[in-house]
Structure 1
Amino acid sequence: MNFSILPSDPKTVAASKLDNNDTARFRDERAGVNYIRTDMKREENDSLEVVSLFSGAGGFDVGLEQAGFKTLACIDFDKDCRETIEFNRPDWIVVDGKSYRAQADLPDRILGDIRAIEPIEVLRAVKRKPGDIDLVVGGAPCQPFSNMGKKHGQNDEKNGDLFLHFVRFVEEIQPKAFIFENVVGITQGRHREVISYMKEQFSGMDFGISHAVLNAANYGVPQRRERFFLIGIRNVDAPAFPLPTHYKSEASWKTFVGGFDKIPIVSPQAWQTVGDTFKKMSSERRKRDDYACMTVSDKVVERMLYIKAGENFKVVPPELLPQCWKSGKHLGSDTFGRLDPDQPSVTIRTAAYNPSKGRYIHPFENRGLDTIEMAALQDFPPEWKFRCKGRSKVTLVSAGKQIGNAVPPSLAKALGKAVRAQLSSISS
């Protein structure tokens, strides 16, 4: 279903000519964020090249591939993620992967630890020099800044300094653009110092800088997942983010574009839903090596019988609840909730296979989500397979981490197309 804005506003009529321009940009005056249309035909260069940091299971890179980029090298600390990427894209160089370690004269280190990897080593591996790479992308592990975690931020002893290594790689690789991703919590309180530091460092490298929080549902992902993005493009003032291609409703779209300097004449599609996604899935998925589903007891199934779409544990008779759930004081509104098939899912986190961890009860069946359903809600293409090093079948925990930590490909694709359009405009 599409909906459109009729040209009743003078700004809308004026924008109709601009919409025929390949570099059509719009500014949200309230939020101070620029947007660019990504649904327009453009004459574009050959594949642009990417170095991917904190790559995880490859969601960001799959989306960039769909936008016309080629990932040359990936870095990730998790051995299962490295295995997944090597399995699905053997032509991508995975730093410290099996084939990479076969090279001579590599230093001993904790495999995949970005702290011990030099950018010049990666450039040599892909046969490029500083300034050749078009794009560096990545998101340092988000737990230090997450609203779900302890919120230690940059003071986190384990991972809080990893954003500094993103800065280091950008500084030494000298790409034409970068995209840094993280959780929304990085914009809050003392964690904002990280954004200020990064903006200061990158502006000194001649990057124009912009940041915004984007909702994956607005880009065709069947999931309400908000993430923070910081974009830098050389010689572009205030880089633009992709204009949404999907929206909740016509009324909400009108509210969104109401503060724009020009109203884009577009017909965004309605949000993709859980039901839309699950209808496309085959039962054959249960034969896959990366299929796993949490076993639940008869007692847990009995609780699920009381819960309708959109409801949670609060509708279950008290005598059926665990003692620790009866007060409900420490539980969120999504706890032990059933997904609504007519809406996008809630954020798919690393334990989205466990119904007690959120609104993760299957919309039609009395069970949690299986790993293939999780991946579909995260927008991975059906042919993308998750691996677990040393095992023929993936474990539930490993698949959950790989899927839940990923950037949904359609969101990454939209970001890639926005960056690509702006790089094309400065090179033409």
Structure 2
Amino acid sequence: MAKKAKRARAIDLYSGVGGWSLGLRLAGIEVVASYELWGPANETNFKNNSHQAQTVDIRRLSLDDLPSDIDIVVGSPPCTQFSFSNRGGGGDLEDGLEDIVRFLTIVDHLKPRMWAMENVPRVSKIIEKELEPGGVLAGFAHLGCATHVVDMAEYGIPQRRRRCIAGNFDLDLLKSFKSADDTPTWVRWSQRSQPTR
């Protein structure tokens, strides 16, 4: 009898309502733990994914409390301090970087095969700058972090939604999921809602 292939194991940091976890679960990946500070988001995550996220401040989460043998780490650290919607981009970047440092500290500790972090587009340039020698993230340069800004409308989301995706994942694999139709989804949806003549 053939040996059953082991399912990939993932954790979801700053898991919010569970978008990463839902996608991973649908791909057949076992999400063994999710972590999020905001309780109402965890309730929605439970409804989306039927697993309980831990209500915890990830900045204070002990590395010893993390599960072992993790293949994938994903997450969406808070974007509030980076977003131009927050005081015209005048958020506290130093505070926002604390969450990115914590995310990368966990990645460095668990040493997964693959990791990805999502945030607002502005974070792409911030990460690139801070990975340089002397930057706040310079100690994580060995993680192979690459940043990409993608428009999620090209992947089926019915709106323009540009996001920074940073990590060590295969960008060509991500691009292979783009819609074959070059028309952004939000345009196709708006055309459907136009009255016919």
Task: Say whether 1:94 aligns with 2:50.
Answer: no
Percent identity of equivalent pairs: 24
Task: Say whether 1:74 aligns with 2:34.
Answer: yes
Contact 1:246 1:271 in 2 (8 A): no
The size of the alignment, in residue pairs, is 185
The aligned residue for residue 180 of structure 1 is 117
Cα shift readout 1:206-252 (whole Å, capped 9, x = no counterpart)? x433221011011121121111111126xxxxx434125446xxxxx
The aligned residue for residue 161 of structure 1 is 98
AA aligned to 2:29 is F
The one of 108, 116, 121 equivalent to 2:65 is 121
In structure 2, distance between residues paired with 1:214 and 1:174:
25
The aligned residue for residue 272 of structure 1 is 185
Task: Say whether 1:227 aligns with 2:163.
Answer: yes
The one of 334, 342, 354 equivalent to 2:191 is 342
Cα shift readout 1:31-56 (whole Å, capped 9, x = no counterpart)? xxxxxxxxxxxxxx543111110100
Give runs of aligned pairs for residues 28-427 of structure 1, distance below 5 A: 46-90=6-50, 92-96=51-55, 112-123=56-67, 129=68, 132-150=69-87, 151=89, 152-156=91-95, 159-188=96-125, 192-196=128-132, 197=135, 200-204=138-142, 207-232=143-168, 239-241=170-172, 242-243=174-175, 245-246=177-178, 267-268=180-181, 270-273=183-186, 276=189, 341-342=190-191
In structure 1, distance between residues paired with 2:102 and 2:62:
10
Q: Which of these two proteins has the greater Rg computed from alpha carbons?
A: 1
CA-based RMSD? 2.8
1:73 shift after superposition: 0.6
1:175 shift after superposition: 1.4
Contact 1:153 1:191 in 2 (8 A): no
1:274 shift after superposition: 7.2
Which fold has the larger relative contact order, with Cα–Cα distance below 8 Å and residues 6 or more apart in sequence?
1
In structure 1, distance between residues paired with 2:146 and 2:94:
25
1:66 shift after superposition: 2.2
- Secondary structure of 1:227's aligned partner: strand
What TM-score, normalized by structure 2, do the two folds share?
0.78
Q: In proportion to residue count, which structure has more strand?
A: 2
What TM-score, normalized by structure 1, do the two folds share?
0.39
Q: Is there any run of 5+ residues in structure 1 with no aligned partner, and where?
A: 1-44, 97-111, 124-128, 234-238, 248-266, 277-340, 344-362, 365-428
